[in-house]
Amino acid sequence: MLKVVFAGTPEFAKAALNAIEGAGHQIVLVMTQPDRPAGRGMSLQPSPVKQFALDKNIPVLQPNSLKIDGKCPAEAKAALHQLESIDFDVMVVAAYGLILPKEVFDIAERQGRGGCINIHASLLPRWRGAAPIHRAIEAGDLVSGISIMQMDLGLDTGPVIAMKELVIQEQETTASLHDRLALLGSEMIVGALAQLQKSHTLTGVPQGFEGVTYANKILKDEARIDWKESAEKLDYKIRAFNPFPGANFEKDGQVIKVWGTKRTQLLAGTGTPGEILSIENNGINVVTGFGILLLTELQKPGGKRVPAVQLAKSLAWSPGQSLFN
Q: What is the pLDDT of residues 23-52, one digit of tens each?
A: 999 999 999 999 988 777 778 899 999 999
**Residue 124 in 3-state DSSP?**
coil
What are the backbone angles phi and psi of residue 228, rounded to the nearest 5°? -75, -15
Q: Residues in the chain, how many?
A: 325
The pTM assigned to this predicted structure is 0.94
Domain assignments of the chain as residue spans, ordered by start: 3-214, 220-314
CATH class name, domain 3-214? alpha beta
3-state secondary structure 283-320: EEEEECCECEEEEEEEECCCCCCEEHHHHHHHCCCCCC
**C-beta atoms surrounding 173 within 10 Å:** 20
Residues contacting 193, CB < 8 A, separation 6+: 2, 4, 20, 23, 25, 90, 92
Tens of pLDDT along the chain (325 residues) come to 999 999 999 999 999 999 999 999 999 999 999 998 877 777 889 999 999 999 999 999 999 999 999 888 999 999 999 999 999 999 999 999 999 999 999 999 998 899 999 999 999 999 999 999 999 999 999 999 999 999 999 999 999 999 999 999 999 999 999 999 999 999 999 999 999 999 999 999 999 889 999 999 999 999 999 999 999 999 999 999 999 999 999 999 999 999 999 888 666 556 899 999 999 999 999 999 999 999 999 999 999 999 999 999 999 999 999 997 6
Distances (CA, A) of 236 to 133, 179, 273, 294: 12, 18, 17, 13
Q: What is the architecture, at CATH level 2, of domain 220-314? A: Roll (3.10)
pLDDT of res. 65? 94
